Structure 1
Amino acid sequence: MASLGICALLLAAAGCAPAWYKRSADREVYGILEQKEKEVPGNAASYEVERPRRDPLADCPAADPSDLPPVITKPGEPPAAVPDAEQYRVVSLAKALQIASEHSREYQNQKESLYFSALALTLQRYAFNPQFFGMLSGEYDNTDLGDTTEVTGETDFGFTWLFKTGARLSVSLASSFSQFLKGSPSRAASSVLTASITQPLLQGAGIAVTEPLTQAERDVIYQLRTFIRFRRTFFVRVLSDYYRVLEQRQVVDNERLNYENLSILRERAEWLGQAGEQSEYEVDQIRQDELQAENSYVTSRQSYENELDRFKITLGLPTQTKLMLDRHELERLDTEGVVEVLLPLDRIEEVALAHRLDLMSQAGRMEDALRKIKVAENDLLPGLDLSASVSADTEGDSRPLNFQARRADFTAGFELDLPLDKLSERNTYRRRLIDHARATRDYDEARDGIVRDVREAWRQYERARRSYEIQRDSMKLAERRVESTTMLWEAGRRVQARDFLEAQAALVRARNGLANALVDYKVASLQLARDMGILNVGDDGELQESFDEYN
């Protein structure tokens, strides 16, 4: 029964092993990332690769009927089916950024790439730790028709240890035993203890040994910088897409309002036409514009629904998810305004060159290439290794651990490998020299590309800022035109229908243009901060420009 209990415990331990290995890997990887994060300027973020299981919309409020896109119903037509607003959830901008950080497939892939880089580092670090091994074997032998029964066993335990100097230490203890259970009642046991060490003095010593570890350490830094850069780019895109959906929703509202205004105008024109105060030609003009307005509304609503579906995929949500975006976010953006950039262009370029993480990584790769040249130079040296070993056994003694110094053997020596055939090493060395020259060119190109990026981003910001000011003035002018033509119309003054229609169309264009210009202005500001490398990103994706710190 005791044996069965031990077997059950061993099986249970084996069943828990995969979960234990997973926890062990996570603990070591997240520890590495927490340590490396201190070496990389940027914002803290969660690196957990396990996605949350909770409903991402659970804490979002239900939609109000006014949040749903309006539906046009013409006189005499049956009312269109209106969706139940209670089934929809309203997602704020902050909530959308949080959902994207937890459920976006693209974001998840980047976190996993970061995890893999740290996981690879654990293996390189492990290479310089003692690596233990153990083996047990046993055999039951029944021979001579049951006259002789023997049980034999062998064990082999030990470890190997690679040092950063290139030295390798190996220690092993091998034992064997036999016991006759039937027949001759003899028993035997013996062991052999062996230790050896080898130290390269030329080829294979020093930097050549530690290079894989050094590169793995730096690769985690590079991947961490890539992840931070990705977060900035990704969340700017999510914010931009969020506002674009709201912008398109506002276009839907503007087109519906334009259609309703033209419907009222058409009814009044028809009444005036019947009274002989409006020409049939002008009435037809208004009817034509009303039909065009209806078509524009239908087209804009389709575009809005398409944009919303695409945004759901960006967030990592199913396309069928019933959600609406908070229309008050555009109002808040208009009220809060956009951070004004007062930095001159030369200062913007200076800040970008000092803070862009991808340029830092490119500079690091130049150092990597230079270090690999030294490794290749080491490979060109002759091989000269010193070695020593000692072994002791217990032959002739049935006690497996009865080692005695007089039975120990000690050997020492050296091995010289003359550099008579180094063609492969020569080619590698030449390749490393070219790789360094190429890495230097890549750095120069990356530097020029960053300067170009921020110059383009600054020009885009200036254009968006000026466009916003123009559209704001255009909106005021369009409102005055509609107001003046409406007053003249209602006062019975003679107003050409075309004048009224053009004023109404100008107002629709101005409203749509103002919404577009406001979003462009905000996005351009964030993109400039991103390309300068100074965009702060919170754990859940909150974005904050920090231009004032560099004035």
Structure 2
Amino acid sequence: MAERTEPIFFLPDRSVQAAAHSRMADFSDPDCGPLPPDDPAAARFMDCPYKAKGSRVWHERGQLADIEFEHWRSFLPQDDEGVVPLNRQTAMELALLHSRDYQTQVEGVYLQALPVSLQRFQFDAQWTGGAGLAFLQRGGHTAGSTRTLSLTDGLGVSKRFATGGQLLADFSNAMTWEYNGGVSSAASVLSFQFLQPLMRRAFREVQLEPLTQAERNLLYSVRDFARFRRTFFVSTVGTNGYLGLLAVAQAIRNEEANLESLRRNLEEHIALYETNQASQFQVDQVYQEYAQGRLSLMRAQATYNTELDRYKLQLGLPSTLHVKLNSEELKQFELNDPRLEKLTDRNDATRIGLLQFSEDELPSMSELRPFYAECEAMLDLIPELTSEVKSELETWTARLKADTERTSGDPDDEASVERQRELELAERLTKVISEILAEFPADVEQLETARTAIDADKPLLAWEALNLLCGDQLRERLDSLFVVQTQVRVYLIQTKPVEISEDTAIWLAENNRLDLKNQQGRVVDAYRRTEVAADLLEADLDLVLGADLGTDPGRINPLRFDSSASTLRAGLQFDGPLNRMAERNDYRASQIEYQRARRNYMAARDSILFDVRKILRNLNLNRFSFEISRQQLITAARQVEQAQIDLRNAEQSDSNLTRNLLQALQSLLQARNSLIASWVSYETSRMQLHQALGILQVDDSGSWINDGQTFDNFLDINDAPLGFERELDPGLDGDASGDEEVPVL
């Protein structure tokens, strides 16, 4: 494998056996290890196959308690509670360590290397040797009986040459002792034989073909493994892996947030119903939606648990293992500060508490003071939260201005128009923040009115002031902060841009895709096989040379060679091609296979270019879909705010307003789910594009190490880690001329 590792990809140096801390590790002796546990029904046929008694050797080696060893659990990156936290890095590390598919791929490369060692061995000097001892008695104990002891031994060597010649050398010795007559004999022969085909099966193109094909097959296997590592990364981290789990986890958060909103609205509608400000039908509307929200949350949780179990199996881990998804990457999808959400809950609870009273049933001073204290505490948090939202807004505005200055160009360009729209939105949101800060003194004044009324023992005035403060003023400020922060944080979510032309992408794929290189090599393999098949149509004409050097038969000396006992041979052997029907068919078949290989290469190239073009389209669609999801979420947040305002300002109960609010909440939930789904799709498309271009590089731990690099790095001869061999076609890139050298990856 080391001989075939190319600069275009990286392969870790590892043994074919699973690591000692892997789930697949086997600590038993690989040669004569203990017997693994057997199926009881099948074990009967090993102990007694048919009428024969089974061998005892299997049980004498010992018995394993289980097929799987449990040592690997102690090496898991568990926390204090025994839970394995999962992020991109740990997911890849666990997959490389425990994935059965990955281990099978490693073994496949190793198995492909075994034929290479055999074919190389065929051209090495091969030694043979042996000895034999035999005792022979004739006639029993009669007078004419004989008893002899014979000792034979031999040593030989053979050498195969690339031209088809084969040299054999053998030394054999025989010694005999006869006990009756005391006669002894010894004879040795040193033989040489050389065979050289002159026509059929002769010369390098035929004799080296098995070795050549084995060497090339190993190269193909190494490349396939390198490409598998890239595909393995995308499948482990992409939509069908870690990022897909993130999307499901975020969907649960969205369902929880939606359910919380429905709960608050249900409690508010119940309170309004008790004061005759809402109808029973409106309460039923909200309750049905709340019940449906609980069901949706349960479904999302069940889906998440199922997908998490499936992902554990994908990593090679049992589904019963306790793992926890690291939600760090989901923080950017936390569109509102949890403190703001808690403050909204507190304000709603305070307002619902105040709605329990009326002008006819006013609260006592002791009942009003806790409401006043809660309003005072909530009011103290408004400036802090407003400042935080303002800071986030300033961060987003600064980024917009920097992007505008960096990419200033055609003002009518779509990207420029979009940035201008975002700048205008930022300005509007800045005005909203300013209005919230400007209206804060009025809130303080309203709170002071309530305090003065309480001190003056005027419950009606205090109750009305607190009810106005919680029901209108604070709620309006919190709703405005909620919408502003949602819009700001939506735009703070960043995606890594991908800027590459279709021509450049196609050029990169043609020069970097390992599977296309393999397919191109197989065309040449098929071409060579036609020549080998054609060689078998020829006649057999072999040159045969031989020599036997024997010892002097008159002396008992196994090393005394004598010319009288030696022979020399030389000759030609010819076999005419009178019957070559089978070879003719093989030759015609090899020609057809060559044409098929050519078509397969063209089909592979077309398929790769098709994939590249499709991924580029999907990438653009996913990026645009993500931007649309931003707008939809912002619109949905505004609809929720407006629906709440309409419902709050209604002078009489109106089920249409309740329905509008519920529909707005459902639209907000769908927009949140669409946002995370489009982000995951875009991130996966980025990985798939690098994979399709053949430039996705993963390190020893399986991590993507060239994420974020521009594609220019793969075209710069000073930065690219690869060699460059030809010029780019003039028509491939609009900026490239026919005389300009462009590096090839």
The aligned counterpart of 2:86 is: 91
With CA pairs under 8 Å and 6+ residues apart, which has the higher RCO, 1 or 2?
1
More strand by share: 1
The aligned counterpart of 2:680 is: 519
1:354 aligns with 2:478: no
Unaligned runs of 5+ in 2: 22-71, 334-489, 716-745
1:534 to 691, 695, 699: 695
Contact residue 97 and residue 238 of structure 1 kept, 8 A: yes
Task: Quote the Cα distance in structure 2 between the aligned partners of 1:134 and 1:274.
Answer: 105
Matched ranges for 1:215-294 at <5 A: 215-240=213-238, 241-294=241-294
Contact residue 194 and residue 389 of structure 1 kept, 8 A: yes
* 1:389-435: CA deviation from partner (whole Å, max 9, x where unpaired): 11111234322222234532111111111122121221111111111
* 1:112, distance to aligned residue in structure 2 (A): 1.4
Matched ranges for 1:15-414 at <5 A: 33-38=1-6, 41-54=8-21, 55=72, 58=75, 60-62=77-79, 86-141=81-136, 144-145=140-141, 150-179=148-177, 183-206=180-203, 207-240=205-238, 241-331=241-331, 337-394=494-551, 395-414=553-572
Task: Quote the Cα distance in structure 2 between the aligned partners of 1:527 and 1:253.
Answer: 28
* 1:306, distance to aligned residue in structure 2 (A): 0.7
* 1:47, distance to aligned residue in structure 2 (A): 4.9
Contact residue 186 and residue 557 of structure 2 kept, 8 A: yes
* 1:549, distance to aligned residue in structure 2 (A): 2.1
* 1:464, distance to aligned residue in structure 2 (A): 0.9
Task: Quote the Cα distance in structure 2 between the aligned partners of 1:424 and 1:294.
Answer: 74
Task: Quote the Cα distance in structure 2 between the aligned partners of 1:246 and 1:548.
Answer: 31
* 1:70-111: CA deviation from partner (whole Å, max 9, x where unpaired): xxxxxxxxxxxxxxxx13211221111111112211111111
Contact residue 56 and residue 99 of structure 1 kept, 8 A: no
* 1:337, distance to aligned residue in structure 2 (A): 4.2
Task: Quote the Cα distance in structure 2 between the aligned partners of 1:521 and 1:508.
Answer: 20
Q: Which moved more, 1:106-115 or 1:160-169?
A: 106-115
Task: Quote the Cα distance in structure 2 between the aligned partners of 1:158 and 1:48.
Answer: 36
The aligned counterpart of 1:451 is: 609
Contact residue 128 and residue 164 of structure 1 kept, 8 A: yes
Task: Quote the Cα distance in structure 2 between the aligned partners of 1:45 and 1:440.
Answer: 33
Q: Return the index of the structure with the highest Cα Rg.
A: 2
* 1:353, distance to aligned residue in structure 2 (A): 1.2
Task: Quote the Cα distance in structure 1 between the aligned partners of 2:319 and 2:185.
Answer: 74
Task: Quote the Cα distance in structure 1 between the aligned partners of 2:637 and 2:524.
Answer: 62
Unaligned runs of 5+ in 1: 1-32, 64-85
* 1:519, distance to aligned residue in structure 2 (A): 0.8
Give 1:503's aligned amino acid: A
Task: Quote the Cα distance in structure 2 between the aligned partners of 1:244 and 1:265.
Answer: 32
Task: Quote the Cα distance in structure 1 between the aligned partners of 2:141 and 2:252.
Answer: 96
Residues 345, 160 of structure 1: alpha-carbon distance in 2 compared, 3 angstrom cutoff: same
Residues 267, 358 of structure 1: alpha-carbon distance in 2 compared, 3 angstrom cutoff: same
Residues 228, 208 of structure 1: alpha-carbon distance in 2 compared, 3 angstrom cutoff: same
Task: Quote the Cα distance in structure 2 between the aligned partners of 1:41 and 1:123.
Answer: 28
Contact residue 537 and residue 577 of structure 2 kept, 8 A: yes
* 1:326, distance to aligned residue in structure 2 (A): 1.1
Contact residue 8 and residue 695 of structure 2 kept, 8 A: no
The aligned counterpart of 2:636 is: 478
Q: Which moved more, 1:51-60 or 1:225-234?
A: 51-60
The aligned counterpart of 1:67 is: none
CA RMSD of aligned residues (A): 2.4
Q: Which moved more, 1:534-543 or 1:449-458?
A: 534-543
The aligned counterpart of 2:589 is: 431
With normalisation by structure 1, the TM-score equals: 0.84
Identity among equivalent positions (%) equals 32
Q: Which moved more, 1:54-63 or 1:120-129?
A: 54-63
Task: Quote the Cα distance in structure 1 between the aligned partners of 2:8 and 2:157.
Answer: 40
Task: Quote the Cα distance in structure 1 between the aligned partners of 2:636 and 2:555.
Answer: 108
SS state of the match for residue 245, structure 1?
Answer: helix
Contact residue 191 and residue 549 of structure 2 kept, 8 A: yes
Contact residue 262 and residue 286 of structure 1 kept, 8 A: yes
SS state of the match for residue 87, structure 1?
Answer: coil
1:498 aligns with 2:654: no
The aligned counterpart of 2:598 is: 440
Q: Which moved more, 1:43-52 or 1:525-534?
A: 43-52
* 1:522, distance to aligned residue in structure 2 (A): 0.5
Contact residue 190 and residue 396 of structure 1 kept, 8 A: no
Give 2:200's aligned amino acid: Q
* 1:441, distance to aligned residue in structure 2 (A): 1.2
SS state of the match for residue 537, structure 1?
Answer: coil
The aligned counterpart of 2:713 is: 549
